[in-house]
A and B are shown apart, each in its own frame.
Chain A
């Protein structure tokens, strides 16, 4: 239908997959390495520094310059730790749990468009795949909690499952708004549709930011906020961290975990944070498209688009949302379980349904009128 060749070509990932087995191994290794580096620095170090500054503290500052080696030291410690498996635990579930939690988060990276030239799997059902594969995480969490044979772990796992399953409904409704505006489930195409470039003529309208879906509909911002709140809940991030709930459940479903298994769960948490940040960026904020407009002769939008700029923009937007996640975490107290469910079922879901209906009407009669 549309000819997107002028906007994205997936040339990098196609080149890699043409290399054969080596390229196919490299293709998922790139996001994996990225997750590791990002979780170390933007995640752990960044979170500790941001939380410290927000609380008028200094944060890690002794290990290396500005404490930059602190996370390396932490990883070294975690690697050296004894791999304890409680004797009362269900060994199989206990060992598999963290792996499945991480795989669930990591599998979604296959459809994240990191650049107009790079995507792990150019699926025509990309968004659908991402939403569904993330549900596997819930199974992993339940395996961790059940397999630990610990009451805190089980409480945390049950809460987590209840929370994630509940919040998939408003999250799905909000995603539906973005998908309806795009008319496709393909992540690259959703991003391309917000670039301001006409897929058929290849002309750039140069509006930059204004082409993003969040500004293309009167209710898109509602869907955006609903998805953001739901994504916090799905990542078990504060203020929805009742599955962890340090003050009541020790550490929730990963109470019994230590060493590298704990690191795996930690990595999965940060991986899913970045994943939802990229999904919200792609759906509502143009993915790898530059937000800068062309102003007269200053072709800012044209200059700042392209495969390499695309990597920059997607990481910039993703990390910005990571920062917002941290900002929210260190601002708001944890919700009670009933408040959590109230917010989900009584506020987000009705508003999400209303947003879907209004978006549908808007798309049919205003934005892309039926001819």
Chain B
């Protein structure tokens, strides 16, 4: 019997308690948390009194300035080194660039950290639909021009709108500069042909003759050739004891590059045997880059890696066409 009345009493108590709770919430419904300073709010994780609704599109909690969402590339600072595209696990970055002629260097100018720009950045596309927000692209960037921004709400109705274009050149300007480069290269080739007996180190150091190769389309082919050419070029150089024919092509190329940097002797030896292969071989490119510094990352790659990259680029190009 006592449990009968006890139950009734407890029910009454809990009902009144519950009604008190809801009434308190009703009373507090005039309050609302101020979201403007939420990042500095010491009660960030506390359930506040009053309304908790955030009317999202018209109100939003500000994302912290260090949050890592949409990618942004500052084209003015980009030296088109391609490191971000190389490291990207999902290949969402597409970079197309070509060399600038020496008289355009002033127009290209410097990046904000003082690096010299050597390449025209024709295409810098980031496909944010592919991006997985790992942030790997931001770490190798030498000029810190590719960054993750706090912008997180950028949904689109059409997937193609996720392709963000950061390239700095207009189509017309790119065509003009490419034409200028082709003309300049042709002139250089003619000059080179006119002076075939020039000393080898000097030839290697005339930068643009060697540099002409890595321009995107032709450069790919050149790099692909380099893989096969490098061992060929190495094989005849038996007079240098270190460069044994047993070395793997990668190792050989690296050694050759080192030698190229240090002494001109092996380069000369090779030049004697296969002068036409020399232009395509990695070591002259290395020396050339040693001279101008703009292309540092590319020549340092092993031929194997270069070949893989070339294949990747070719595949990407194919994708682009099919899309």
* Contact A331 to B19, CB < 8 A, known contacts A53-B29, A347-B8: yes
Contact check, B15 vs A54: say whether CB atoms are below 8 A apart.
no
- Tell whether B53 is near chain A: CB-to-CB under 8 Å: yes
Q: Which of the residues A52, A55, A332, A346 comes within 8 Å of B15, measured between beta carbons?
A: A332
Contact check, B25 vs A53: say whether CB atoms are below 8 A apart.
yes
* Contact A54 to B53, CB < 8 A, known contacts A332-B15, A347-B8: no
Contact check, A57 vs B51: say whether CB atoms are below 8 A apart.
yes
* Contact A56 to B53, CB < 8 A, known contacts A50-B26, A347-B8: yes
Find chain B residues with CB under 8 A from A331 CB.
15, 18-19, 21-22
Distance between Cα atoms of A53 and B4 in the complex (Å): 35
- Tell whether B245 is near chain A: CB-to-CB under 8 Å: no
Q: Which of the residues B18, B23, B25 comes within 8 Å of A55, measured between beta carbons?
A: B25
Find chain A residues with CB under 8 A from B15 CB.
331-332
Interface residues of B in 1-41 (CB under 8 A from A): 4, 8, 15, 18-19, 21-23, 25-26, 28-29
Interface residues of B in 43-59 (CB under 8 A from A): 50-53, 55
* Contact A330 to B22, CB < 8 A, known contacts A53-B29, A56-B29, A347-B8: yes
Distance between Cα atoms of A108 and B50 in the complex (Å): 40
Find chain B residues with CB under 8 A from A50 CB.
26
Find chain A residues with CB under 8 A from B29 CB.
52-54, 56
Find chain A residues with CB under 8 A from B25 CB.
53-56
Contact check, B51 vs A327: say whether CB atoms are below 8 A apart.
no
Find chain A residues with CB under 8 A from B21 CB.
331
- Tell whether A37 is near chain B: CB-to-CB under 8 Å: no
* Contact A54 to B51, CB < 8 A, known contacts A332-B15, A347-B8: no
Find chain B residues with CB under 8 A from A54 CB.
22, 25-26, 29
Contact check, A56 vs B18: say whether CB atoms are below 8 A apart.
no
Contact check, A56 vs B19: say whether CB atoms are below 8 A apart.
no
- Give the shortest distance, in Å, between A5 (CB) and chain B (any CB): 42
Find chain A residues with CB under 8 A from B22 CB.
54, 327, 330-331
Q: How many A-B residue pairs have CB under 8 A?
A: 40
Distance between Cα atoms of A347 and B7 in the complex (Å): 10
- Give the shortest distance, in Å, between B113 (CB) and chain A (any CB): 48
Contact check, A56 vs B23: say whether CB atoms are below 8 A apart.
no
Q: Which residue of A lies closest to B25 (CB)?
A: A54
Q: Mark A167-186, 1 if CB is under 8 A from B, else 0.
A: 00000000000000000000
- Tell whether A58 is near chain B: CB-to-CB under 8 Å: yes
B side interface size, CB within 8 A: 17
Find chain B residues with CB under 8 A from A52 CB.
29
Q: Which residue of B lies closest to A225 (CB)?
A: B12
Q: Mark B112-133, 1 if CB is under 8 A from A, else 0.
A: 0000000000000000000000
Interface residues of A in 321-339 (CB under 8 A from B): 327-328, 330-332
Contact check, A327 vs B53: say whether CB atoms are below 8 A apart.
no
Q: Which residue of B lies closest to A324 (CB)?
A: B19
Contact check, B50 vs A56: say whether CB atoms are below 8 A apart.
yes
Find chain A residues with CB under 8 A from B18 CB.
331-332
Find chain A residues with CB under 8 A from B28 CB.
56
- Give the shortest distance, in Å, between B248 (CB) and chain A (any CB): 68
Distance between Cα atoms of A56 and B23 in the complex (Å): 11
Q: Which residue of A lies closest to B55 (CB)?
A: A58
Distance between Cα atoms of A54 and B22 in the complex (Å): 5
Q: Which residue of A lies closest to B15 (CB)?
A: A332
Q: Which residue of A lies closest to B30 (CB)?
A: A53
Q: Mark A46-62, 1 if CB is under 8 A from B, else 0.
A: 00001011111110010
Q: Which residue of B lies closest to A346 (CB)?
A: B4
Find chain A residues with CB under 8 A from B52 CB.
56-57
Find chain B residues with CB under 8 A from A56 CB.
25, 28-29, 50-53
- Give the shortest distance, in Å, between A126 (CB) and chain B (any CB): 31
Q: Which residue of A lies closest to B47 (CB)?
A: A56
* Contact A327 to B19, CB < 8 A, known contacts A53-B25, A54-B25, A347-B8: yes
Contact check, A57 vs B53: say whether CB atoms are below 8 A apart.
yes
Distance between Cα atoms of A330 and B26 in the complex (Å): 11
- Give the shortest distance, in Å, between B60 (CB) and chain A (any CB): 16
Find chain B residues with CB under 8 A from A61 CB.
55
Interface residues of A in 72-87 (CB under 8 A from B): none
Contact check, A58 vs B19: say whether CB atoms are below 8 A apart.
no
Interface residues of A in 51-109 (CB under 8 A from B): 52-58, 61
Find chain A residues with CB under 8 A from B23 CB.
327
Distance between Cα atoms of A330 and B53 in the complex (Å): 18
* Contact A58 to B26, CB < 8 A, known contacts A327-B19, A328-B19, A331-B19: no
Q: Which residue of B lies closest to A53 (CB)?
A: B29
Distance between Cα atoms of A328 and B53 in the complex (Å): 23
Find chain B residues with CB under 8 A from A55 CB.
25
- Give the shortest distance, in Å, between A255 (CB) and chain B (any CB): 28
Find chain B residues with CB under 8 A from A346 CB.
4
Distance between Cα atoms of A180 and B69 in the complex (Å): 74
- Give the shortest distance, in Å, between A47 (CB) and chain B (any CB): 13
Q: Which residue of B lies closest to A62 (CB)?
A: B55
Residue with the highest number of chain B CB atoms closer than 10 Å, among A54, A55, A56, A57 = A56
Distance between Cα atoms of A58 and B55 in the complex (Å): 9
- Give the shortest distance, in Å, between A197 (CB) and chain B (any CB): 35
- Closest 7 A-B residue pairs measured CB to CB? A53-B29, A331-B22, A331-B18, A54-B22, A58-B53, A56-B52, A53-B26
Instruction: Give me the interface of A with B, judged by CB distance under 8 Å.
Output: 50, 52-58, 61, 327-328, 330-332, 346-347
What would be 9 A-B contacts, judged by CB atoms less than 8 Å apart? A50-B26, A53-B26, A56-B29, A56-B51, A327-B22, A327-B26, A330-B22, A331-B21, A332-B18
Given contacts A53-B25, A54-B26, A56-B50, 6 further A-B contacts (CB under 8 A): A56-B52, A57-B52, A327-B19, A331-B15, A331-B22, A346-B4
